[in-house]
A and B are shown apart, each in its own frame.
Chain A
Amino acid sequence: MRELFHEITSNLRNNKLRTALTGFAVSWGIFLLICLLGAGNGLMNSFLGNMEDFISQTITVEGWRTSKPYAGYQEGRYIQLDEADVTFTEGPRWSPAVGNVTRQTGSTGVTFSLDGNTVAGQVSGVMADYLEQNKLKMYAGRFLNPDDLKERRKVIVLSLAQAKELSPRNPDALVGRWVNTGTVSFRVVGIYHTDESNMYRICPIPYPTYKVIYDRSDKIESITFTVDGPKTKEDYEAFEKDYGGALRLRHEVAPDDRRGIWIRNGYTDNMEMNEAQRIIRTALWILGLLTLVSGIVGVSNIMLIAVKERTHEFGIRKAIGATPAEILKLIIAESVTITAIFGYIGMFLGMIACQIMDKTVGQRSVNIGMEEIRMLVNPTVGLDVALEATILLIVAGTIAGAVPAWKAARVKPIEALRAE
């Protein structure tokens, strides 16, 4: 093995141009692949990754204005959901499928004040699942818990932006303090994270507390529930159509009036998202593999020429006792050595390029109307993918070398010696 290695290194050293050309083809192929996959990952992380934060595995129902006349009513009628709809949803008709049902009240605008600082907010009565359903992340303290609801405590969770307004020096210290809304005071139990993207002014308080203080009616803003049972996207769509139609009929809304009663199906949204992600990923890999193919073609091209050029040399080697297996071994080992070394270099440079992308384009953000998003988020390729690609190229390089090597090994020594 060491002998072979010595033989190879001396061959490569003595054929610098050929080595450099082959090496460049390999490095370039793997470099492009890694850059492509890195940029693709970055784009995907920025568009899909951001969205994933807002999709929870639930179905949410909200009432709004009807979009078509139905049952003698004109279009544009406002639909108000109430407790009866919650009972309907929890009812036996949907019982095997519908899991945990939660609800949220409408909201009331208030002004909080503390130590001379004030901030505006929308108080809304929610259940303890609100945190998970809306993918909020806590910054300090805790979220509302079932006991808060059961005992109708006057507790509130503020957003970090609001906390900073009320307690500019030390927002954390707000947890445990009482904030005044003019009529009622709430004790702050927690602060949730806000990014620039969502203009969250919503301040969750326990659902029963809200009902007692702001709205004694049985009106509710939205119903959110989990669904168990449906498996495929079609199953969920069928359930949505079935349930939505029935709910709309209860309010004398056309069964297909999607604006009158609006349903957000987190399950199908998620499936669509995963599907989109899968398609983009596949497309990226296909593009990447095509790039890799150009690298492989480069390698096999050069190997083909190199072997042809060396036919005479192989003739000499055979005349002095090289077996076909020795010739085969020599060419393939050279091919593998070149692709491995230069593949590694290409992979290394590609990963550096990804880092540079991350530091430059990745830091730039664009405004897409509702929110600021970064162009590329973490545009890098995992080491595993990079290594896989490099190994793939080495295997391909071996195969690329093997075909001409096989031909060279089989040529009769006398014919090889005649070649120039």
Chain B
Amino acid sequence: MLIELKDVNKTYNNGQPLHVLKGIDLSIERGEFVSIMGASGSGKSTLLNILGILDNYDTGEYWLDRKLIRDLSEKTAADYRNRMIGFVFQSFNLISFKTAVENVELPLYYQGVPRRKRHEMAMEYLEKLGLTAWASHFPNEMSGGQKQRVAIARALITRPQIILADEPTGALDSKTSVEVMQLLKRLNQEEGITIIVVTHESGVANETDKIIHIKDGIIGEIEENKAHTAWDANIIK
């Protein structure tokens, strides 16, 4: 079991207390390709942030690769994020004044990898994603799809066990969206990386092997979707 959540609760205290996650129990196996689906405000992004150790939770337990993730020091949290988790964001979150290859290198910088080695590896991953020609371009010189592929390369470079993607297609057109999802699917199948995608689009969720529905901070239905027919089924419903 790579990820195990037991009765995780989270309340935001901005003026009025807002109980976002109301006892989440969830298990995700190594090598799964999962989507978390829900409407906005359902708590899906909060859940992803907790999974990514970007945010903390109030009660319950979160086990990641048999380590209890609770009350970690910032330093340890940063180290876990760096070595175990790769992030792909809706708005790409590339550093605007760094070129594509420098952006991809950055996680390795924080691991203390020497510059030459870092650069070689970053170029390797850019090549894998067909971006060799764009290596020395800045983010604002690239299309949305290219930027998201740079972000994916950055997420992959530390060889993480999990990739957490928060609405990875949210800022992309439908054609590029399909390409990005195909890319994630390929990474899951060929490299065996566990991928968790948060989305509110059923089309995107349909590409994954398992769909976890979340509503009002509670896990609802968990659909097995190996045949990728959930979308059709939803339409029929």
Contacts and interface: CB of A to CB of B under 8 A. Distances in A.
Contacts of A93: none
Interface in A287-318: 312-313, 315-318
Interface on chain A toward B: helix, strand, loop, or mixed SS?
helix
Given A10-B102, A11-B97, A417-B93, A323 B75 contact: yes
Contact of B87 (A3, A15, A320, A323): A320
A322 B75 contact: no
A320 B55 contact: no
Contacts, number: 70
Interface in B78-94: 78-79, 81-83, 87, 89, 93-94
A216 to B, nearest CB: 96
Interface string B171-214: 00000000000000000000000000000000000000000000
Given A11-B97, A14-B98, A313-B95, A321 B54 contact: no
B49 interface: yes
A213 B110 CA distance: 96
Given A10-B102, A319-B93, A417 B54 contact: yes
Interface string A317-336: 11111111110000000000
Contacts of A412: 54-55
Contacts of A313: 95
Interface in B24-72: 49, 52, 54-55
B136 interface: no
Contacts of A417: 54, 89, 93
Interface in A37-79: none
Interface in A132-181: none
Interface in A93-114: none
A11 B98 CA distance: 8
B34 to A, nearest CB: 20
A320 B54 contact: no
B93 A318 contact: no
Nearest to B76: A323
Contacts of B98: 10, 14
Given A3-B115, A7-B109, A413-B54, A320 B79 contact: no
A414 interface: yes
Contacts of A320: 81-82, 87, 106-107, 110, 154
A6 B111 CA distance: 16
Given A15-B97, A413-B54, 5 more contacts: A317-B110, A320-B107, A324-B75, A413-B81, A417-B89
Interface of B: 49, 52, 54-55, 74-75, 78-79, 81-83, 87, 89, 93-95, 97-98, 102, 106-107, 109-112, 114-115, 154, 158
The 5 A-B residue pairs with the shortest CB-CB distance, nearest first, are A321-B82, A14-B97, A321-B110, A323-B78, A414-B54
30 contacts: A3-B114, A3-B115, A6-B115, A11-B97, A15-B97, A312-B93, A317-B106, A317-B110, A318-B78, A319-B52, A319-B81, A319-B87, A319-B93, A320-B81, A320-B82, A320-B106, A320-B107, A321-B78, A321-B79, A321-B111, A323-B78, A323-B79, A324-B78, A326-B110, A410-B74, A412-B54, A412-B55, A414-B49, A414-B55, A417-B93
